[in-house]
Structure 1
Amino acid sequence: MTGRRTAPGRDTAPVPPGVAPEPVTPDPPAPVRHPLLHQYWADVVFLHWRADPAAVAPLLPPRTRPDTHDGVTWVGLIHFRMRRLGFGPLPGLPWLGSFAETNVRLYSVDDEGRRGVVFRSLDADRMLPVLAARGVAALPYDWSPSTVSGRVAEGEEIAYTCTRRFPGPRGVSARTRVRTGAPLAVPGDLEHFLTARWALHTRRPLGTVRWRNDHPRWPLHHAELLELDENLVAAAGAAPPSGPPDSVLASPGLPVRFGGWRRVREHR
């Protein structure tokens, strides 16, 4: 089955009076000048479902709300291969920093009008990065033995599986198989909305923070969903999907850098 695309439209989000959301842009609004982390995301598969903003709002950190496109927000199930995760100016780690990852994410805009994503879960195939990310970055990583077969290339198939082991709930899993189609010559508004996100929002002891990132423009492909069996979305607190994804995309990947984070200020 092929992912369905919504018609392009104006990107809007409910924000406090006087604060408009920043534009959705395929390129970062500002470069990360002093990266704390660098990594490569390879063989990326994006599955997305439409969602009711009112249902998603309680799942977001304080001072953020659902970001919307044409009046709806989106829930994403994203698979990729993390390659050579590294810190600051140091080279990427070849084994410890390379693993399969699957995340469930929501789309957010904060009280300052900055768009981002909120990770409800991140399942990774290496235990040590999971422990480090939970402790240092306050991100909800889980250790989930995973497999990947194939690659993202036109006409080829790729399959991801993961099964959660720690900290749980144990047994939560996903299996996804897609066939990559032709490149998108000109990605539309929705494709940029779902993929060109320049920050993540997460809750830390001192409040909600925004953690910036940058990367080149996504090389995106159409993709055909061949198989999907998952309960990660429901385990992340979102409504279980009632049908196939509304959008299916794939990308061979790109390098990503993360800068520092800063606290989201309250709008007055």
Structure 2
Amino acid sequence: MSDRRPWVLRMTWHDLCFMHWPVPPEHLAPTLPRGLELDTRNGLAWLGVVPFTMTGVSPRGVPDVPGVSTFPELNLRTYVTAGGIGGVWFYSLDAASPLAVRLARALFHLPYFDARMWASHEQGVTRYASLRTHRGAPPGRFAGAYRPVGEPITALPGSLEDWLTNRLYLYSADPAGRVYRGRIHHQAWPLRRAEAVIRENTLTDPLNVTLAGEPHLLHAETLDVRADWVERVR
């Protein structure tokens, strides 16, 4: 994939929480399209639930649009490789922006879904709820609260924290099963440990996967991001 093409989309992510659970790889490998391989660590795959809020979402050279450029987003993800390049595979991305949902589905082949969402941030605690409303999509609900704790940490190369978060490519697939890859650009994650209370989470129900035990939690307060077009993986 060429890195010479300029980025096409900008955004800022706020109050993001990585909630990760280890999963036997045989539960996820059959869910991937042809051409992608599950990325594992110490024999385990990982599923991530990631709630956050987006601001400043806009194409390159276009100013923010009130009521359009800011919205909550929630994704369910795992990690994959193709041609030796690791990246993120999204099972779902719920967003409270009908326009963003349709553009992302059409232009980036990402499984975005309409949702009614609510997020608040007060005294360091983010409270978050999402109800998927997309016509024809499987149900999906999430509700919880989280906050960062402790001092900033550095995700050292080779650490689990680095493996889970240092992913500069995303993968997607169109209805015909053709796989695409896109690059994102940002500085190092401003990570801290986190605490969370998850009151409801049905995002993994379509995968027939039960998330057992306490998740591995990381928090990032603010991160500026740029995204490239996706290109087909040959």
1:156 correspondence with 2:124? yes
1:203 correspondence with 2:147? no
Provide the rounded CA distance (Å) in 1 between the counterparts of 2:136 and 2:130: 13
Mark the CA change 1:32 to 1:190 in structure 2 (over 3 Å): closer, same or farther: farther
Determine which structure has the larger strand proportion and give its number: 2
Alignment of 1:1-268 (within 5 A): 34-110=6-82, 112-150=83-121, 156-169=124-137, 171-188=139-156, 189-204=159-174, 205=176, 207-235=178-206, 237=207, 239-245=209-215, 247-265=216-234
TM superposition shift of 1:136? 2.2
Contact 1:39 1:92 in 2 (8 A): no
Deviations 1:118-168 (A, max 9, x none): 1100110111211222222221111111111116xxx72111100011125
Mark the CA change 1:68 to 1:198 in structure 2 (over 3 Å): closer, same or farther: same
Report the AA paired with residue 77 of structure 1. Answer: V
Report how many residues are paired: 230
TM superposition shift of 1:88? 2.0
Q: Tell me what 1:24 maps to.
A: none
Provide the rounded CA distance (Å) in 1 between the counterparts of 2:218 and 2:160: 11
SS for the counterpart of 1:211 is: strand
Deviations 1:43-76 (A, max 9, x none): 1011000011222111222211111122211000
Mark the CA change 1:32 to 1:125 in structure 2 (over 3 Å): closer, same or farther: farther
Q: Which runs of 5+ in 1 are unaligned?
A: 1-29
TM superposition shift of 1:171? 4.9
Does 195-204 or 83-92 show the bigger shift? 83-92
Report the AA paired with residue 229 of structure 1. Answer: E
Identical columns (%):
30
Contact 2:113 2:137 in 1 (8 A): no
Q: Tell me what 1:27 maps to.
A: none
TM-score by length of 1: 0.80
SS for the counterpart of 1:232 is: coil
Provide the rounded CA distance (Å) in 2 between the counterparts of 1:177 and 1:83: 20
Contact 1:51 1:74 in 2 (8 A): yes
Deviations 1:3-52 (A, max 9, x none): xxxxxxxxxxxxxxxxxxxxxxxxxxx97750111111111011000011
